[in-house]
Amino acid sequence: MVTSKYMPLDGANAVSQAMRQIDPDVVAAYPITPQTAVVQNFSQFVADGIVHTEFVAVESEHAAMSACVGASAAGARVMTATSANGLALMWEMLYIASGMRLPIVMTVVNRALSSPLNIHCDHSDSMGARDSGWLQLYAETGQEAYDNTIQAIRIAEHPDLLLPVMSCQDGFITGHGVERVGILPDEAVREFVGQYKAKYSLLDVDNPVTMGAWDFTDYYFEHKRQQTEAMNNAMPIVRAVSEEYERLSGRPQPIVDCFGMDDAEYAVVVLSSTAGTSRAVARQLRAQGWKVGVVKPRVFRPFPAQEIVEAIKGCKAVAVLDRAISFGALYGSGPLFTDTTSALYNLGVTGLPIVNYIYGLGGRDTLPSMIESVYRDLRQVAESGDRGAPVRYLGLRE
């Protein structure tokens, strides 16, 4: 274990520091709130000669991800960052990056998608990209955003995986919120990420290859089967890298973070910063004798079905909190809810009362009192035996 140096950093700056230490070969990015600080700070490191990165200032996010795809196909270690509509503009290239098996690492500072226009946090941007073939990590704090970014490099570039990774954190809440962040020594990060040696490179003229070529009815299906196999087998790789990073940093890196779940009767399943709010509330309620808990998946793609089900299956009632709506999905629920309920069913857990709360859209504050009301609702559900409305709205003016 190495000793971290603690600095006051916001989540965006914490990621910039991780990128400085990773020193990627190429970064191509376009500014968008609230991601801007990530690349702004990193471009300063480039200008100051602190990193060796080729920085490509492009004209749009579509071009940013295109440049990342090209650079990664050339054999470079490539990183970028975006938010909201910027991510939406990358859509076409997200699938090309994963389909070509290019291990690009991208920070997404989560922000609501227009329309109506909004710059504040929700997960509608990255949740829409959950089927794009990228792995997704969600950070609760700036510290986790820093840690996840470094691990993402090793996960993406693992020879048995070779898939791009999205490292997400909550816009403004963690992105612009200054906290105490432990930064590993530069050499430790350099050694941890190591040198990237691409299996194939477009610049290797002695071993020429063609990438991103025509793939018709004869092989496209086989390549997609390979891609889903890689994602299906990703969890052990994520776990191995997390454990190695845990030993290095001394900071726990669970796939699914559980609080109070050994004996919890009522549990909240939630991603990112609101897990912190939920844990603070759960701690208070536990001090009053309530058996409540919090389940926070740090990894959303691949979906940690086994881990989540294992954590919640003994509960009397469970609430899944979603910061995005999957429009038209079951009851208009959110993606974490549909995946969690699907996991319960497929792993043979039936009869567990489970409700969905849509919260925090467009940056709406999620207060401790609201989380407390969720636990009270859960007790009501369990004691009455009536689930009531399957999808509820937290912090909405009714």
Partner 1 sequence: MPKYEAPRLDRPWKEANPGGVVLEPGNSVTYITGTWRTMRPVRDLAQCTQCLICWIMCPDAAITIEDGKVTGFDYEHCKGCGICAEQCPVSIKQPHAVTGQMGKVIQMVPETDYTS
Supply 100's token pair.
């070509």
Closest distance of CB 219 from partner 1, Å? 6
Closest distance of CB 222 from partner 1, Å? 4
161-to-101, 112, 278, 283, 302 alpha-carbon distances in Å:
8, 30, 33, 38, 12
Residue 33 or 227: the one with the smaller Cβ distance to partner 1 is: 227
Residue 102 or 311: the one with the smaller Cβ distance to partner 1 is: 102
Residues 235-294 that bind partner 1 (CB under 8 A): none
- Site for partner 1 contains 209 (CB under 8 A): yes
- Site for partner 1 contains 208 (CB under 8 A): yes
Q: Using CB under 8 A, count the residues that bind partner 1.
A: 25
In angstroms, rounded to a whole number, what is the distance separating the alpha carbons of residues 201 and 178?
40
In angstroms, rounded to a whole number, what is the distance separating the alpha carbons of residues 153 and 243?
15
Which one of residues 92, 131, 186, 215 is an interface residue with partner 1 (CB under 8 A)?
Answer: 215
Which one of residues 197, 223, 247, 313 is an interface residue with partner 1 (CB under 8 A)?
Answer: 223
Residue 327 neighbours by CB under 8 Å, 6+ apart: none
- The answer to whether the Cα torsion of 68, 69, 75, 81 is positive or negative is positive
Residues 41-100 that bind partner 1 (CB under 8 A): 99-100
Closest distance of CB 162 from partner 1, Å? 7
In angstroms, rounded to a whole number, what is the distance separating the alpha carbons of residues 72 and 75?
5
Residue 212 or 250: the one with the smaller Cβ distance to partner 1 is: 212
Beta bridge partners of 108: 82, 168
CB 24 within 8 A of CB 46: no
Residues 124-183 that bind partner 1 (CB under 8 A): 162
Residue 186 or 229: the one with the smaller Cβ distance to partner 1 is: 229
Residue 14 or 76: the one with the smaller Cβ distance to partner 1 is: 76
Choose one: 21-29, 209-217, 304-312, 389-397; the region binding partner 1 (CB under 8 A).
209-217
- Site for partner 1 contains 197 (CB under 8 A): no
Which one of residues 47, 60, 186, 221 is an interface residue with partner 1 (CB under 8 A)?
Answer: 221
In angstroms, rounded to a whole number, what is the distance separating the alpha carbons of residues 356 and 341?
10
Which one of residues 55, 91, 95, 200 is an interface residue with partner 1 (CB under 8 A)?
Answer: 200
Question: Given the structure tokens 């509509």, which residue do they identify?
Answer: 85
* Angle (CA) 336 236 192, round 5°: 105
- Site for partner 1 contains 203 (CB under 8 A): no
CB 306 within 8 A of CB 322: no
Residue 20 or 158: the one with the smaller Cβ distance to partner 1 is: 158
Residue from 315, 259, 305, 262 nearest 284 by CA:
259
Residues 329-388 that bind partner 1 (CB under 8 A): none
Residue 40 or 227: the one with the smaller Cβ distance to partner 1 is: 227
Closest distance of CB 16 from partner 1, Å? 30
Residue 102 or 139: the one with the smaller Cβ distance to partner 1 is: 102
SS3 (DSSP) at 108: strand
Amino acid letter at 315?
Answer: C
Amino acid letter at 397?
Answer: R
Choose one: 42-50, 184-192, 207-215, 387-395; the region binding partner 1 (CB under 8 A).
207-215
Residue from 333, 322, 321 nearest 378 by CA:
321
Which one of residues 211, 305, 349, 382 is an interface residue with partner 1 (CB under 8 A)?
Answer: 211
Residue 187 or 229: the one with the smaller Cβ distance to partner 1 is: 229
Q: At what angle do helices 61-73 and 91-99 cross, to 10 degrees?
A: 10
98-to-224, 328, 389 alpha-carbon distances in Å:
10, 26, 38
Residue 178 or 209: the one with the smaller Cβ distance to partner 1 is: 209
Where do contacts with partner 1 occur on this chain (CB under 8 A)?
99-102, 162, 200, 208-215, 218-223, 225-227, 229-230
